Structures are given as C-alpha cells and as structure tokens.
Amino acid sequence: MPYIPHTPDDVSAMLDAIGAERIEDLFDEIPAHLKAGSSLDALPEGRGEMEVTRLMAERAEQDRYALSFLGGGAYQHHIPAAVWEIATRGEFYTAYTPYQAEASQGTLQVIYEYQTLIARLTGMDVANASVYDGASGLAEAVLMALRANRKSKSNRVLVPEALNPRYRSACDAIVRNQDVALDTVPFCGQAGQTLADSLSQYEGQDYAALVISQPNYFGSLEDVDALTDWAHANSMLVIAVVNPTSLALLTPPGEWGSEGADIVVGEGQPLGIPLSSGGPYFGFMACKQKHVRQMPGRIIGRTVDLEGKQGFTLTLQAREQHIRRSKATSNICTNQGLAMTAATIYMSLIGPDGLASVAGHCHANTQKLADKLTAIDGVERAFTAPTFHEVVLFLPQDADTVLAKLAEKDILGGLSLAKDYGMQNAILVNATEVHTEGDLDLFVAAMKEVLA
C-alpha cells in the first residue's frame, strides 16, 4: 500500500482496540445510500514511483526547449544551486505554519530575516510573509489601502492602464466583490509612461489610493516622484508595484517623492524562484510602520523567552482570520512560505552588489537586444521612455503571426500586445543576465528570416 505502513497484524490490533470488526464499520455514521457513488471506477490503477516518474519525465520533455524572451511578470534568472538544495530540506519542506514557536525557530528566524531583507530592498519599515503572488498581492494592497486611508471615504482606487494587465484583471476579480472600483489612468502613447498630466482630471476627487507600477508593463520607468507627490497632495495613499531585481538599481519606493510610497507589493519570483509555469511564486508586501495593523498575512516578531534569550514568534495575530474571523484583514492562511524561504537564501547569496550586477545585466542585455532588433528594417521602439529590462517594439507585421512563426523555430520572441492593448504589431521583449550574446543573435537572425 503506497505510503501506508500498516501490516495485517497492525490493522487487526487497531480494530481490536477500537472494538470494531472491519474498517468499514468505522463509516457507519455516513448514510449508506450516499456511499453508492464512490466506486471511483473512472480512476486509473495506481503505479509505482518509477512508472509515474517516467510518464512525467516524458511529458516534461515534450514541453520542447525554447530560447525564451518572455517576461510580462515572470523572468528567467540564474538560481544558485544552494537555494533549492536547502529550501527542499525536509526540515523546511515538511513543516507547517510555525504555530508552536519553540519547535519552529528555524522557519521563524528565516521569516524575520526575510522581513528585514524586503524592508531594506523596498525602503519600507515592515514586511509580511507572504501573499500568494504579485497580482493577488495587489488586490490585498488595494483592500488594505481602503482600510488605512482614513481621510478617504471612497471605494475607488486609481490604476494605471500601463499596469500589467494580468495584475489588473486578477485584482479586479478579487476586489469587485466588495464593490471596489478600479478606475483607469491612461498612459501616454508616445512615451509609454503614466504622465502626471493625465492625472489632473482626478484632482480633488476622492480616491483611496493611486497604484504606481515601476517599471510599468511596457518596461518603461515612470516618474515616480511626481506621481507619488501628486497622490499625497490629493489625500491618496500610494501603492507601489515593483520588480525586486530592479530595486538594486532604482530608487526604493520608501524614497519616492517627499514622503515615499505607503504600501509596496510585487512578484517575488525573480528572487530565486524557477519559472515553473507560473508558480508557486510569492507576493511580497511591505508598508510604513503606521499601517502595519492593516496588513494581511503572517508577521513575525523578535522577542525573548522565559530566560531572556532571543526568540521569534508569530505576532499581531489579531489581524488574522483564525482570531478575528469575519473582521480579519484577509482570509489568507496558507501562504507561499517555501518560496519565501528560497528567496531569503537567494538574497543572502546574491548580496547587494550581486543583485545590482544582475539588474545591470538585465538592463544592458535588453538595451542591446532592442538595438539589434531595431536595426532590422521596420522594427522600432514603440515608446520613448527609458526602460529597465523589458521593451515594446513595433514590428512591420502582425505580432501574433510573427510570434507563432518564431515559436516554430523554438524561439519565444516576446509577448503580443494585441489582445490587451489593441496594438496589433507590438511585442514586449525581455532579456536578463542569462542571455548570451549568441542567444541575442539567434533571436535577431530568426526575426530577420520571419520578417523577410
């Protein structure tokens, strides 16, 4: 019996102790006619680890290797071998939420270190650990801003059109049930940025928060200082959506404008988490100290034990569902602990200079790729704004068609902006530190062929 240790003797000894004759007797409180449906005939017979591994290995190989320049919220990065070797140690992998603090000091200290790392990276006071991913994290941030902004009575939040459309749709799917409206701030079609000018129409209106994405979906860098100051001048909180790699080079949200962002969220995947078809990743979330009681999710504090020795424990639990139930800040319970553990190890290994050099290579490689591609006739940068590690290019042909032809050559040449922005000829391209000059040239050569 896979994973079940009992011998026939064990089973009879246990039944004897219970005073039952058969295992079936233990289900005598379930109305008999309800049990009929459970023959489970449509299920396959069980197989051994060898067969199932073989089946899955075949399927994994079927997902043909491709040279990828896809970004859009998930990025290829080098992951040091030590990250997952340690994160998948049974002591981390098979523990659960550290309710018994004395027997969970390992996980608890990791989280405390993680909170510190995220706070330092974002320039904020405190961080939680963790939310599911960047997009659902934005929904939590929006709901948090509504609670935290005592000056605002509205259920409305301003969201830039240049925000990752997947964030927008997931956020909307989550918050609309509480009648929260996300109003769209258009982007400048020339710059590919959200301009302070486009905000003037909302001046003096009651919104709880303004979302600022740095970089935005097009890879463009926003003038975050101006946007932040505008929001604060209009009694809105600022929710920053940021890429963690970029923060090694870019002004942290805590220093945006004169007061800094109020809440920061983002996708943690670039910090040592494999692409893995979209998850498990983790959403990071940080805020100013004064808003900490409005934050959802687990928070760990440092304290002392009976003997005055340093120790770590879950704290501010009165925000959480298991204590506050319907008055909790969120329904989140199980979070993304293991991915957060991996990210903590990644950040420690890569260090401040390492992260800056990863970010630098991402930026430089993307610039180089854009230069090479725009040297092809008819390929142009779509926008004028400076970019971090993604860039939008106009092609002389329909983007979806070109991308499909590239995919036939096993090159995933970017994401089409046709569906989300109605820009039929535009693609969003990313390069990171993993791409070699040879990779870029292969892509460029393939693009030339496809466009020819």
Partner 1 sequence: MSNETKLIFQHSRPGRGANAQAPKPVSEDQLSAIPASLRRKQKPGLPEVSELDVVRHYTNLSSKNFAIDKQFYPLGSCTMKYNPRGANRAAMLPGFLARHPLAPASHSQGYLACLYDLQNFLKEVTGMKGVSLAPMAGAQGEFAGVAMIRAYHDARNDDGRTEILIPEAAHGTNPATAVMCGYKVREVPVGKDGDVDLEALKQACGPQTAGLMMTNPSTCGVFERQIEAIAKTVHDAGGLLYYDGANLNAILGKVRPGDMGFDVIHMNLHKTFATPHGGGGPGAGPVGVSQRLLPYLPTPMAGLDEDSGEYSWIDTDTLPTSIGHLSAFMGNAGVLLRAYFYAMVLGREGMIRVGEYSTLAANYLLKRLQQVGYTAAYPERRASHEFILTLAKEAKELNVTAMDVAKRLLDYNQHAPTTYFPLLVPECLLIEPTETESKEAMDDFIAAMEAILHEAKTDPDMVKEAPFTQPVRRLDDVKAARELDLTWSE
Ligand X SMILES: Cc1ncc(COP(=O)(O)O)c(C=O)c1O
Q: Is 333 in the site for ligand X (CB under 6 A)?
A: yes
Interaction residues for partner 1, span 103-162 (CB under 8 A): 103-107, 109-110, 112-113, 115-117, 119-121, 125-127, 129-130, 132-136, 143
- Residue 185 or 340 having the CB closest to partner 1: 340
Q: Name which of partner 1, ligand X, none residue 121 binds, using a CB cut-off of 5 to 8 Å depending on partner kind.
A: partner 1
Is residue 131 a contact partner of residue 299, using CB atoms and an 8 Å limit? no
Smallest distance, partner 1 to C-beta of residue 80, A: 5
Q: Name which of partner 1, ligand X, none residue 193 binds, using a CB cut-off of 5 to 8 Å depending on partner kind.
A: none
Report the C-alpha gap between 352 and 354 in whole angstroms.
5
Report the C-alpha gap between 413 and 395 in whole angstroms.
12
Interaction residues for partner 1, span 366-425 (CB under 8 A): 367, 386-388, 403-404, 407-408, 410, 412, 415, 419
Q: Is 334 in the site for ligand X (CB under 6 A)?
A: yes
- Residue 13 or 333 having the CB closest to ligand X: 333
> Which residue intervals of 130-180 are DSSP H helices?
134-148, 165-175
Q: Is 63 left (phi over 0), alpha (psi -120 to 50) or beta?
A: beta
| Helix, coil or strand: residue 380 | strand
- Residue 5 or 204 having the CB closest to partner 1: 5
Question: Which class for 422: exposed (0-12), middle (13-18), buried (19 or more C-beta within 10 A)?
Answer: exposed
Longest alpha-carbon distance in the chain:
83
Q: Name which of partner 1, ligand X, none residue 96 binds, using a CB cut-off of 5 to 8 Å depending on partner kind.
A: partner 1
- Listed residue (251, 239, 181, 242) closest to 211, CA to CA: 239
- Residue 60 or 452 having the CB closest to partner 1: 60
Please report how the helices 134-148 and 165-175 are oriented relative to each other, as an axis angle in degrees rounded to 10.
50
- Residue 184 or 331 having the CB closest to ligand X: 331
Smallest distance, ligand X to C-beta of residue 334, A: 3
Report the C-alpha gap between 23 and 41 in whole angstroms.
21
Q: Name which of partner 1, ligand X, none residue 309 binds, using a CB cut-off of 5 to 8 Å depending on partner kind.
A: partner 1
Report the C-alpha gap between 441 and 304 in whole angstroms.
57
Number of residues that bind ligand X (CB under 6 A): 2
Q: Is 438 in the site for partner 1 (CB under 8 A)?
A: no
Query: Which of 186, 189, 351, 396 touches partner 1 (CB under 8 A)?
Result: 351
Report the C-alpha gap between 376 and 190 in whole angstroms.
21
Query: Which of 190, 258, 331, 436 touches partner 1 (CB under 8 A)?
Result: 331
Report the C-alpha gap between 323 and 328 in whole angstroms.
8
Q: Name which of ligand X, partner 1, none residue 63 binds, using a CB cut-off of 5 to 8 Å depending on partner kind.
A: partner 1
Which residue's structure tokens are 């969003």? 428
Binding mask 258-297 for partner 1 (x = CB under 8 A): ---------x------xxxxxxx-x------x--x-----
Please say whether the dihedral angle defined by the alpha carbons of residues 134, 135, 139 and 142, taken in this order, is positive or negative.
positive
Interaction residues for partner 1, span 53-82 (CB under 8 A): 53, 55-66, 68, 70, 72-74, 76, 78, 80, 82
Smallest distance, partner 1 to C-beta of residue 13, A: 7
Is the peptide bond between 169 and the residue preceding it cis, with omega within 30 degrees of 0? Answer: no
Q: Name which of ligand X, partner 1, none residue 258 binds, using a CB cut-off of 5 to 8 Å depending on partner kind.
A: none
Show the tokens assigned to 28. Answer: 């005598």
Q: Name which of partner 1, ligand X, none residue 189 binds, using a CB cut-off of 5 to 8 Å depending on partner kind.
A: none
Is the peptide bond between 252 and the residue preceding it cis, with omega within 30 degrees of 0? Answer: no
Residue 286 bridge partners (DSSP)? 127, 264
Phi, psi of 264 (to 5 degrees): -125, 130
Report the C-alpha gap between 209 and 291 in whole angstroms.
14
Q: Name which of partner 1, ligand X, none residue 452 binds, using a CB cut-off of 5 to 8 Å depending on partner kind.
A: none
Alpha carbon 406 to its chain's center? 28
Smallest distance, partner 1 to C-beta of residue 332, A: 6
Query: Which of 307, 422, 438, 452 touches partner 1 (CB under 8 A)?
Result: 307
- Residue 333 or 407 having the CB closest to ligand X: 333
Would you state the torsion angle of the CA atoms of residues 385, 389, 390, 391, taken in this order, to the nearest 10 degrees? 40
Q: Name which of ligand X, partner 1, none residue 397 binds, using a CB cut-off of 5 to 8 Å depending on partner kind.
A: none
Query: Which of 144, 335, 429, 446 touches partner 1 (CB under 8 A)?
Result: 335
Which residues make Cβ contacts (< 8 Å) with residue 148, sequence separation at least 6? 237, 262, 263, 291, 294
- Residue 235 or 374 having the CB closest to partner 1: 374
Q: Name which of ligand X, partner 1, none residue 305 binds, using a CB cut-off of 5 to 8 Å depending on partner kind.
A: partner 1
Q: Which residues contact ligand X (rule: CB under 6 A)?
A: 333-334
